[in-house]
Amino acid sequence: QVLLEQSGPEMKKPGTSVKVSCKTSGYTFVNYGVTWVRQVPGQGLEWMGWVSGYNGHTKYAENVQDRLTLTTDTSTATAYMELRSLKSADTAVYYCARDPGVFLGGDYFDPWGQGTLVTVSS
């Protein structure tokens, strides 16, 4: 059974950083990538970026590429999403999802983690 288990909710102040983890199990981590998607409460889904589980290569959405870093730890089959210089507009649920793409992003995301609520407020 493929599982992606994310870290717990975070409360952050504007200008600080957050790092969310996504621990995977049930499949060979290096044979897939991990995609990150966020959802502002009550709104739609937004693709943020992709990281390869094989070599750590990344691709970021243009609107967050200056503040976003995606990494992996193959020894623990865990992916990480770090977002810096947080703004109130970054308040959202952040999801990780398994991505079939290893050298480039794949064409679908399945399954998804349970989501991590990040609240940015002064």
Partner 1 sequence: QSALTQPASVSGSPGQSITISCTGTKDDVGTYSFVSWYQQHPGRSPKLLIHGVTKRPSGVSSRFSGSKSGTTASLTISGLQAEDEADYYCCSYVGSSASWVFGGGTRLTVL
> Residues in the site for partner 1, rule: CB under 8 A?
35, 37, 44-47, 59, 61-62, 95, 97, 104-105, 107-115
Residue 5 or 14 with smaller CB distance to partner 1: 5
Which amino acid is residue 71, in one-letter code?
T
Residue 14 or 111 with smaller CB distance to partner 1: 111
Kindly state the smallest distance separating residue 56's Cβ from partner 1, in Å: 17
Kindly state the smallest distance separating residue 45's Cβ from partner 1, in Å: 4
How far apart CA 109 and CA 11 sit, in angstroms, is 27
Residue 16 or 103 with smaller CB distance to partner 1: 103
Task: Name the DSSP class of 95.
Answer: E
Kindly state the smallest distance separating residue 44's Cβ from partner 1, in Å: 4
How far apart CA 21 and CA 117 sit, in angstroms, is 12
How far apart CA 36 and CA 16 sit, in angstroms, is 20
How far apart CA 113 and CA 92 sit, in angstroms, is 14
